Chain A
Amino acid sequence: MTSRTLEMATFYVGDALCGMDILNVQEINKLMDMTTVPQAPDYVVGILNLRGQIVTIIDLGKKLNLGKSERSDMSRNIIVNAKDEYIGLLVSRISDVVEAQWDKVEPPPANIGGVQGKFFKGVYKTKDRLIGILDVEKVLYNDK
C-alpha cells in the first residue's frame, strides 16, 4: 500500500539539501564521543555506543563524494536502520520535516549540488527550495 504523502526529514550535506523518508530514521543525535577505527574505509568516522549497540558512523558527505563534512555544533548524526544493523549518517545541519506528495516528486537530475543523481530517488520542489530525496540503500551500498 503506497501512501500518497511522504514525510521527509531534511538536512544539509554540505550545501545540498537532502531528504529521506522519515520512516527510515531511527533517531537524530548530536555528535558524541566516537571511537576511531584505524584502517577503516575513509568514509567511516568511527563507532559509538548507542544504548548497548555498536553503531558505525559514516560521513555522508564523503560517501556521496562531496568531501569531508565540516564538524560544527550544528552537525548531527542521523541513525538509520539498514538491514538489521544501525548506521549513523553524519550531516552538517538538520532542517525541517517536510510533507511531500509523491505525485509532485520529479525524477532526479544528473547532479544536485555536487551529488550524483544516482543516489536520489527524486526531487521535490517546495516554495523556495529543492530537496533531493535520498535513496538510503544506494547510499549505503558498498561494492565489494
Chain B
Amino acid sequence: MTIQDDETLQMYLEESIEHLADIENDLLAIEETGVDIDEDLVNKVYRAAHSIKGGAGFMGLTTIKDLTHEMESILGKIRSREMVPTPEIVNVLLMAADTLKALMNDVFTSNEVDIAKHIDALQAIAEGKPLPVPAKLQPDVVAGRTSDGQPENDVKMVSVATADAGIAIEADHAKVKNLIDEGKFIYLARIDVVADVLEKGKIPATIIEEMEQTGTLIACSIPPDQFRSMDLERGRPSDPLIVLFATILKPEDINVLFEIPKHQIHQVMPNMTVRCLGSESPTPVPTTATPETVSTVRPNPNPAAQPKPSPANAPAETPPTMELKTTAKKSETETSLRVHVSLLDQLMTLAGELVLSRNQLLQSMTSEDQRGSEIAGQRIDLITSELQEAIMLTRMQSIGNVFNKFTRVVRDLSRSLEKKVDLHIEGKDVELDKTIIEAIGDPLTHLVRNAVDHGIELPGVRRGNGKNPVGKIFLKAYHEAGQVNIEISDDGKGLNGQVLTQKALEKGLISEDQAKVMSDKERTNLIFLPGFSTAEKVTDVSGRGVGMDVVKTNLDKLGGIIDIDSELGKGSTIRIKLPLTLAIIPCQIVMTGNERYAIPQVNLEELLRIPASQVKDRIERVGDAEVVRLRGNLLPLIKLSDEIGTDAVYVDPKTGNKNLDRRKTLSDRRSKKSPLVTDSDTETSKIEGENERVETEARQSEDRRYHATSALNVVVVSTGAMKYGLVVDELHDSEEIVVKPLGRDLKSCKGYAGATIMGDGRVALILDVANLAQVAGLTSIEGSSRAAEVAAENLRTIREQKDRQSLLVFRSAENEQFAAPLNMVERIEKIKASDIESLGGKRVIRYRGGSLPLFSVDEVAMVRPLAEVDDLLVIVFILSGKEIGLLAIGPVDAVELAIDVDGQTLKQAGIMGSAIINDHTTLMIDVYEIVQTLNPQWFEKMEAVTNDEGEAAKILFAEDSNFFRNQVKSYMEDEGYTVIEAEDGAIAWDLLQQHADEISLVVTDIEMPEMNGFELTRRIKTSNAYAHLPVIALTTLAGEDNIEEGRQVGIDDYQIKLDRENLLRSICGFLTSM
C-alpha cells in the first residue's frame, strides 16, 4: 500500500494529532477515575483511536494502523468492563500514544519503525498476561520463505514492490543492505517468460546465467533451478519471473543485460523506494512490511502481529533527500493555523470598508476637500485599528494548548520522584499570539518541573511540617492591563533568600554592598542571574544552573517580565507578564533632551508629577542616590538625561524656549545670590542681552522655587523585581507603536530595546528599562535603614488614623457648619427654592417621578434657619427604605478627618455633638433622630430580641472613642438591648470571659490601642467557647481596605458606626437566626 502524499494526508495528520492530544488528556482522566469507569470517556478515546486507525488504513500507514488497532482492542475491553484501567495499563497506552505522535511527525518513514515492543505490551494486556520486560524483543520468526532457501531463523525480510504492487518480491533485508553499502545498484525487474525470453530467442537458463555473471541475484520469485528447467511453450502464459538483482551496472546500462521493456525495470533506492526506469519522476514508495501473501503460523488473528522486519537501521539509512522532504512537510504543517471562519468574514468586511474609505480619501484629496479628507481620515483610523485587532486575533491561540500538556508532565515527574502533586489549571481560555505560545512552552515546562522537583517536598517531609502530604501547584493565566499574566504557584518549601544571597556572593554575581541592602523580594529574584543553581543534586530533571536565567532570557526576547515571590516553608509564586503581541506594543512617549523615547507599557507602573513646591520635601538622598517618597515607600530616581548622556531641557513657559536645565541635582534650587552660582554664569547672563537680563534680575529665588518648570515629571517603571522612577523632561501621549529592530552596530547599546517610527516620520528609540537600571548601577534601597525608617513612620501614621471619619460638611445658614456621616449620603442634588412645594405642612419636591420629602436642620434642632437663597442643595439620605432630602447650602465638602467629637457641649435633639472642622465649629447631625422626630411613623419598631427568660439580649460592645461608644450604645439601648461596654479589645476579651454565657453578640470597633478588632475577632472565632457568637465590626471610613482581612478572621458583618438602622437590623438578624 502506498502513502498518499497530498492534501488528504495533511488533513488526516492534523486531525489525528488533535485526536492524540485529546486521547492523552482523556487517558489521564481515565486513570484518575480508576475502577469507576466513565463509559462516555472511554468511548471517546475508543472512537478517536478508531478514526485514526481508519484513516491510517486508507492512507497506507500500516504501522500506525496496527498500533492503533491494539490500543483499540484494549479500550474495547475497558469499555465493556472486562478490564480495569490500572496505572500500568494506562502507562502502556500513553507510551503507545507517544509513539503514535512520533510516527505521525515522521510519517513517511513510519512504516518502517519497529513497534514490536508496544504491540507485545498491548497484546499482553489484552490477554491478561503479565507485561513483558521492556527489553529489546527478538523479532519473531516469519513463516515465510525465501526463494533461495535461506535459514528461517533470524532472517529479517523486506518486501520490495512497485507502486501498483505489480511487481513485488521478498528479500533478505540484511543482504540487500550489504549490497547497497557496497555501492551496488539494486534492481527489481519483471521478466515476462513469453514476451521477454522466448520471443527474443533466449532460454530461461541464459537469463539466470547472465545475471549471475554480472551481479548477485538476491531474490527470485521462482527458484533459479526451477526456472532454468522450466518447460516453456509458446503461447502459454506462465508466471513472470520477478528478480531482485544487485549489480555494478548503472541504470543507464542495466537494460543491456535484461533487454526488457524499460518500464519493467525498477531501481531500488537505498531508502527502499522503488524507481521505475521507464518513467521520469521517482515514485516515493516505501516498502510495505506486511506481505499478505506470506502465511503466518501464529494463531493470533492480528496480521500486525508479525514483527516489522525493518530494524532500527532503516531510519538511519534515510538519505538527506528523504529527510528534506519530511522536514519540508513538517514545516508546512507547522505553519498552518486554525482560524474561525467568522473572523475571516470580519476581515473581509473590514478590507472592504478600508477600500471604500481610501477611495473617499483619495477623492477628497484631489478635490482639496479638507473636511471630507478629515472625515475619511478618521474613518480610516478606526478601520485600521479594527483591522489590526482582527488580524491579531487570527494568530491567537488559547493557552490551554500549552497548559494541557503539563498535566502529563506533572504526573510523570511526580511519579518518578515519588512525590504527590495536585495540579490546578485556571484560565485555559486566555489567548496569546501564536509565536508567544510556541515560545513560552519551554520556559513554562522548566518552571513547572522546577516546582515539582525543587518546590514540593516529599510527602513524609510535608507531613512532618504539618502540611498536607499532597502538594499543590496552581497554574493560572489571566488578562490584566493589556497584558497576559501567568502565575505558577506552589505550596512547597519556598526559597531561602539568605541561602540565595550567599550563593550569589560566592559566585561573584553580586557585591557585598548590594547583598546587605537587598530586600527579600530581590533576594529571591537572584535566582534569575546567569550561572545560578543551588540544587544539591543537579538532576537531569531540572538542569544545571542554566535553567532560570534561560527562562528569563527567553521571556525577555518576548518582551515579557518575570518575577518570583517566595516565603520560606510556605511556597513560591512565579509571575510572568507578557505582551499580547510582539510587533505592536503600547508605549508611553516621553521627551528628554529634545528627543523622543518610548517606554513599553509592560514596564510602566504610573506617572508621577511632583509640583515644584513639593520637590524639596519629597526628594531625599539616600547614599548617593536620589529617592522620592511615594505612598510611604522610597523610590529611587534616575535622570534619563544622565543615563543617555544628553542634556536635560526645560521649557521656559514665558518664552517657549527650551533652555538647558542647569540643575545639578533634582532638588537643587539655585538663586542668583547663592554661592553655587559661579562667575561664569553671571557672565553669560550679561552677554545674553537686555531682555534676558531683565528676566534674570526679576527672578527671585522664591519664584524659581515655585516656577512651573521646576516641577518634575517622573515615570515610575518596574522591571519585575524592582521599581524605580525615571525623570524625564516632558510627558507625551501613550501610543501603539511598531517595534523595529536596531541594526547590528547599535545592538551593543544597552538601554535600547529597539526603535520605532513616529507619526511624523521621525525615529524614536524604545527604552529598555531593565538595562537602564543596570547601567545606572541602581541598587535597591529597600533594605537600607532609611527605608526602614520611612516604613515605620508610615505605620505610625496609619495607626494614628483610627477613628477617621468620612464626613460631608455643609451649611444650612450662612455661618453655621454642619456635618453628616458621608456613608449615609446617597446623593446631592441642586434645586431651585421655587421648586419646593408645601403639602400638608411638609415640604416636598418633585423628584425622579415621585415626591421627595424635604427637611432642614432647623426644624428639629435649635439652630439658625435655612438661608433664603434661590439655589439650594438637597442631600439625599435613605432611611428605612425611603428617601429623604436635607436642605442645605454650600460650600459642601467631603472630608476625612480624625476628629474629636464633643458629645456633650452642644448636644441637643437632632445634634449628636460638635467638632472643629477646618477651623469652624461644626455640628454633627443625627439624621436618624431628626427624621424620627419629624416622621415617627416611618420607622417600624424592631423588637429587641429576647432570650428564653424574656430578658433582652446582652451585647458586648468594644469601642475606644468615648463619643462613638456612647452614641452607638444609645442606639442599642434604645432598642432594648443590654450593652456591656469595653474601651478596648483587651478589656472586651476579659469581659467576655466574665460574662460568658450571658453575651449573645459582639459589636466591635476595628482600631483600638491594646487589642484591635481583628485580633479580638480572631480570638473569639478560634476559641471553642465563643466561636458561635456573631461579630459585627463597625467602621467609619467611606472606603474599605480591610474588609477582606476582616472576612478572613471571621467577622460576620461590617456596619457603619453611625448608621443606626442598619446596625440594629443586622443585630436583629443575627440574634433571631441563632
Q: Which A positions have Cβ atoms within 8 angstroms of B?
A: 33-41, 43-44, 47-49, 52-56, 58, 83, 85-87, 142, 144
- Please determine whether A85 and B763 come into contact, CB atoms closer than 8 angstroms: no
The reply to whether B762 and A40 form a contact with Cβ atoms under 8 Å apart is no
B642-673 CB mask vs A (1 if < 8 Å, else 0) is: 00111000000000000000000000000000
The answer to whether A40 and B749 have CB atoms under 8 Å apart is yes
Q: Show the binding face of B for A, using Cβ within 8 Å.
A: 595, 644-646, 740-746, 748-752, 755, 757, 761-765
Contacts of A87 in B (CB 8 A): 743, 745
Give the distance in Å from the alpha carbon of A99 to the alpha carbon of B765 in the complex.
Answer: 41
Contact yes or no, B746 A47, CB < 8 A = yes
Asked if A41 contacts B755 (CB within 8 A), the reply is: no
A44 touching B745 by the CB < 8 A rule? Answer: yes
Neighbouring B residues of A53 by C-beta, 8 Å = 740
Q: Which of B743, B744, B749, B762 contacts A39 (CB 8 A)?
A: B749
- Nearest CB to that of A88 among chain B residues? B743
Question: In the complex, are the beta carbons of A47 and B763 less than 8 A apart?
Answer: yes
How far, in angstroms, from A54 to B747 measured CA to CA in the complex? Answer: 13
The answer to whether A49 touches B762 (Cβ under 8 A) is yes
Contact B644 A39 (CB under 8 A): yes
Is A37's CB under 8 angstroms from B746's CB?
yes
Name the residue on B nearest A87 (C-beta).
B743
Are A144 and B742 within 8 A (Cβ)?
Answer: no
Determine the distance from Cα of A63 to Cα of B646 in the docked complex, in whole angstroms.
Answer: 23
A54 contacts B741, C-beta separation under 8 Å = yes
In the complex the two chains form, what is the Cα distance from A10 to B744 in whole Å?
26
Q: What separation, in Å, do the CA atoms of A58 and B746 have in the docked complex?
A: 11
A85–B743 contact, CB under 8 A? yes
Determine whether the beta carbon of B645 is less than 8 Å from that of A38. Answer: yes
* Chain A residues with CB under 8 A of B761: 49
Would you call A54 and B757 a contact (CB within 8 A)? Answer: yes
Contact B751 A39 (CB under 8 A): yes
Q: What are 22 residue pairs bridging A and B, where the CB atoms are less than 8 Å apart in the complex? A: A35-B755, A35-B762, A35-B764, A37-B752, A37-B765, A38-B645, A39-B645, A39-B749, A39-B750, A39-B751, A40-B745, A40-B746, A44-B745, A47-B743, A47-B746, A49-B762, A49-B763, A54-B741, A54-B763, A56-B746, A86-B743, A142-B745
A41 partner, pick from B742, B748, B751, beta carbons under 8 A: B748
Instruction: State whether A44 and B746 are in contact (beta carbons under 8 Å apart), knowing that A49-B761, A53-B740, A54-B763 are contacts in the complex.
Output: yes
- Partner pick for A52 among B741, B746, B757, CB 8 A cutoff: B757
Cα A47 to Cα B743 in complex, Å, equals 9
Pick from B595, B743, B748, B762: contact of A55, CB under 8 Å: B743
Task: Return B295 CB to nearest CB of chain A, in Å.
Answer: 62
Residue of B nearest to A52 (CB): B757
Given contacts A39-B749, A43-B745, A52-B757, 6 further A-B contacts (CB under 8 A): A38-B645, A39-B751, A54-B741, A54-B742, A55-B743, A87-B745
B93 to chain A, nearest CB (A): 48
Query: Which residues of B lie under 8 Å from residue A37 when comparing CB positions?
Result: 746, 749, 752, 765
Question: In the complex, what distance in Å separates the CA atom of A87 from the CA atom of B744?
Answer: 10
Q: Closest B-chain residue to A55, C-beta based?
A: B743
Chain A's closest residue to B742 (CB) is A54
What distance in Å separates the Cβ of B747 from its nearest Cβ neighbour in chain A? 9
Contacting pair A41 B762 (CB below 8 A): no
Q: Would A56 and B743 count as touching, CB distance under 8 A? A: yes
Of the candidates A43, A49, A52, A54, the one whose C-beta lies within 8 Å of that of B743 is A54
A44 CB contacts on chain B under 8 angstroms: 745-746
Tell me how far the C-beta of A90 lies from the nearest C-beta in chain B, rounded to whole angstroms.
13
Q: Is the CB of B595 within 8 A of A56?
A: no
Most chain A Cβ neighbours within 10 Å, of B741, B743, B746, B761: B743
- Establish whether residues B595 and A35, one from each chain, have CB atoms under 8 Å apart when the complex forms: yes
User: Max chain B CB contacts within 10 Å: which of A35, A44, A85, A86?
Assistant: A35
| Chain B residues with CB under 8 A of A48 | 763
A39→B764 CA distance, assembly (Å):
15
Residues of B near A142 (CB, < 8 A) are 744-745
In the complex, the answer to whether A56 meets B742 with C-beta atoms within 8 Å is yes
User: Which residues of chain B come closer than 8 Å to A56, judged between CB atoms?
Assistant: 742-743, 745-746
Contact between A58 and B741, CB atoms less than 8 A apart = no
B740:A36 contact, CB within 8 angstroms: no
Give CA–CA (A139, B1029) in the complex, Å: 85
Is A35 a contact of B746 with CB atoms below 8 Å?
no
CA distance A86 to B742 in the complex (A): 10
Determine the chain A residues whose CB is within 8 A of the CB of B765 once the complex forms. 35, 37, 47
Instruction: Give chain B nearest CB distance to A143 CB in angstroms.
Output: 12
In the bound complex, do residue A41 and residue B745 qualify as a contact, i.e. CB atoms below 8 Å apart? yes
Choose among B595, B740, B750 the residue that contacts A54 (Cβ–Cβ < 8 A): B740
A144 touches B763 (CB 8 A): no
* Residue on B nearest A53 in the bound complex, by CB: B740
Q: Which residues of B contact A36 (CB under 8 A)?
A: 595
> How many whole Å from B388's CB to the nearest CB in chain A?
16
- For B775, give the chain A residue with the smallest CB separation: A39
> Which residue of A has the minimal Cβ distance to B743?
A56
Instruction: Give the complex CA separation of A53 and B644 in angstroms.
Output: 23
Collect the chain A residues with CB atoms within 8 Å of residue B742's CB: 47, 54, 56
Closest Cβ–Cβ distance, residue B764 to chain A (whole Å) = 7
Q: Which residues of chain A are within 8 angstroms of B764 by Cβ–Cβ distance?
A: 35
B-side contacts of A41, CB under 8 Å: 745, 748
How many Å lie between the Cα of A72 and that of B315 in the bound state?
A: 66
Query: Closest 7 CB pairs between A and B?
Result: A56-B743, A38-B644, A35-B763, A54-B740, A49-B757, A38-B645, A54-B755
Determine the residue in chain B with the shortest Cβ distance to A44.
B745
Please, how many angstroms separate the alpha-carbon atoms of A39 and B750 in the complex?
Answer: 8
For the complex formed, measure the closest distance between the CB of B319 and the CB atoms of chain A, giving whole angstroms: 30
**Structural contact, A144 and B748, CB atoms closer than 8 A:** yes
- Inter-chain CA distance A29–B762, complex, in Å, is 16
Please give the distance in Å from B109's CB to the nearest CB on chain A. Answer: 35
Q: Give the complex CA separation of A41 and B752 in angstroms.
A: 14
Residue of A whose beta carbon sits closest to that of B740 = A54
User: How far does the alpha carbon of A40 sit from the alpha carbon of B765 in the complex, in Å?
Assistant: 12
Which residue of chain B has its CB nearest to the CB of A36?
A: B595
Cβ contacts under 8 Å, B763 to chain A: 34-35, 47-49, 54
Q: B598 to chain A: closest CB distance in Å?
A: 12
Chain A residues within 8 Å of B751, by CB? 39
Which residues of chain A have C-beta atoms less than 8 A from B595's C-beta?
35-36
Chain A residues with CB under 8 Å of B755's CB are 35, 47, 54
Q: Which residue of B lies closest to A85 (CB)?
A: B743
**Identity of the chain B residue whose Cβ is nearest the Cβ of A63 in the assembled complex:** B745
Q: Which of A53, A54, A83 has the most CB of B within 10 A?
A: A54
A58 to B744, CA, bound (A): 12
A58 contacts across to B, CB distance below 8 A: 745
Contact indicator B762/A33 (Cβ below 8 Å) = yes
Find chain B residues with CB under 8 A from A39 CB: 644-645, 749-751
Q: In angstroms, how far is the closest chain A Cβ from the Cβ of B239?
A: 57
In the complex, which residues of chain B have a beta carbon less than 8 angstroms from the beta carbon of A34?
763
Determine the distance from Cα of A53 to Cα of B745 in the docked complex, in whole angstroms: 15
Which residue on chain A has the smallest CB distance to residue B757? A49
State the CA gap A87–B742 with chains docked (Å). Answer: 11
Give chain B nearest CB distance to A24 CB in angstroms.
16
**Complex Cα distance A36/B647, Å?**
13
Q: Looking at the assembled complex, report how far the CB atom of A36 sits from the nearest CB atom of chain B, in whole angstroms.
A: 7
CB distance from A53 to the nearest CB of B (A): 7
Nearest CB of chain A from residue B977's CB, rounded to whole Å: 73
Q: Residues of B contacting A54 with CB < 8 Å?
A: 740-743, 755, 757, 763
CB distance from B597 to the nearest CB of A (A): 10
Q: How near does chain A come to B321, taking the closest CB pair, in angstroms?
A: 27
Please measure, in the bound complex, the distance between the C-alpha atom of A33 and the C-alpha atom of B763, giving whole angstroms: 9
**A55–B746 Cα gap in the complex (Å)?**
11
Residues of A within 8 A of B750 (CB): 39
Residues in chain A near residue B743, CB distance under 8 A: 47, 54-56, 85-87
Select one of B646, B741, B744, B748 contacting A38, CB under 8 A.
B646
